[in-house]
Amino acid sequence: MDGDHETQVQAVESCIASGAKGILITASDTKAITDVVKQARDNGVLVIALDTPLEPIDAADATFATDNFKAGELIGQWAKATLGDEAENARIAMLDLSPSAPSVDVLRDQGFLKGFGIDIKDENKIGDEDDPRVVGHDVTSGNEEGGRTAMENLLQRDPSINVVYTINEPSAAGAYEALKSFGKEKDVLIVSVDGGCPGVKNIQDGVIGATSQQYPLLMASKGIEAIAQYAKDGTLPQPTEGLEFFNTGVNLVTDKPVDGVESISVQEGLDRCWG
């Protein structure tokens, strides 16, 4: 669940008040949080954004994140290669996060579509593409209940759906329940993002075809190291070359690898999974 913005502002304020050396934050409103973040930095606090970059990205001292666009792109490419020639006739359902469309939502959604070879028009906007292969977008709140309801509604709009993108693995599990109740679970390819342990097990069981695994624990430990370093001698963490943030990496996890898209096995995914 995503926390709310107001609570995060209060949390940052109490960190400043308590004289903290550094703050790790996964912003729920990436634009609005920047004011209080600036306050913190003016007070000499090192602010590191985890998982979700702030907007603009240099509002934080450093960002330890996974490339969410890349995560989406990988599952898009995998789905396209798995379908082969049938990709031309794909019927795609997009299960997003929330009506407010935070940046993680946009990046994964647009990354997937680009990876699948669909013209995404404005890459900051969900749902502006006009490719007829996209049946529709719906929101899931990132949980099983929302995933199921959203999938049911999209299937009602077009029962021929055969590719399902999901924002995360809980919503993928919900979508699978809906497909099962429609008797379609065998004919549909589900892809997702996260790489949590229940999600990787769902690949093993054939519920999800592939997922882009991210490493939130690595983000956190790198973040803590950076703050310790800063407190010791004032050195700032450096971003990965060519990127505006320190990339903690993303791997495609699947048991059905395809040519041209690098992936790791489910076993390796299970060894590195979290949650």
Partner 1 sequence: MSETTRRDGDYEASLKDSDTAVAAFKRRRRGFFGNVQHFLHGSPTMVPVIVLLLSVAAFGFVAPNFFSAFNLSLIMQQVAIVGILAAAQSLVILTAGIDLSVAAVMVMISVIMGRLSVEFGIPVPIAIVIGFFCGAGTGVLNGLLVTKVRLPPFITTLGTWNVFLALNYYFSNRETIRSQTLDAEAPLLKVFGERFNIGGAVLTWGVVLMVAIFAVLWYVLNRTAWGRHVYAIGDDKEAAELAGIRTDRTLVSVYMVAGIICALAAWASIGRVGSVSPTSFFEANLESITAVVIGGISLFGGRGSILGPMIGAIIVGVFNSGLRLAGVDVLWQLFATGWLIIIAVAIDQWIRKISS
Can you give the binding site for partner 1, defined by CB under 8 A?
Answer: 1, 99, 127, 136, 138-139, 141-146, 148-149, 152-153, 156-157, 170, 173-174, 176-177, 180-181, 198, 201-202, 205, 207, 275
The kind and range of the H/E element at 221 are helix 216-233
Whole-number CA gyration radius for the chain: 19
Interacting residues of 97 by C-beta distance below 8 A, sequence separation 6+:
2, 104, 105, 139, 140, 141, 142, 167, 168
Report, in Å, the least distance between residue 26 CB and partner 1: 15
Nearer to partner 1, 1 or 17 (CB): 1
Report, in Å, the least distance between residue 138 CB and partner 1: 7
Q: Nearest CA to 199 among 257, 251, 138?
A: 251
Report, in Å, the least distance between residue 25 CB and partner 1: 19
Q: Nearest CA to 116 among 73, 165, 170?
A: 73
Nearer to partner 1, 156 or 238 (CB): 156
User: Strand 163-166 relative to strand 189-194: parallel, antiparallel, unpaired?
Assistant: parallel
Neighbour-count burial of 83, counting CB atoms closer than 10 A to its CB (0-12 exposed, 13-18 middle, 19+ buried)? middle
Distance of CA 239 to the CA centre of its chain: 20
Nearer to partner 1, 84 or 183 (CB): 183
Report, in Å, the least distance between residue 153 CB and partner 1: 4
Nearer to partner 1, 73 or 169 (CB): 169
Query: Is residue 166 classed as helix, strand or coil in its secondary structure?
Result: strand
Nearer to partner 1, 143 or 229 (CB): 143
Report, in Å, the least distance between residue 158 CB and partner 1: 9
Nearer to partner 1, 39 or 98 (CB): 98
Report, in Å, the least distance between residue 143 CB and partner 1: 4
How many residues does this entry show for the chain?
275
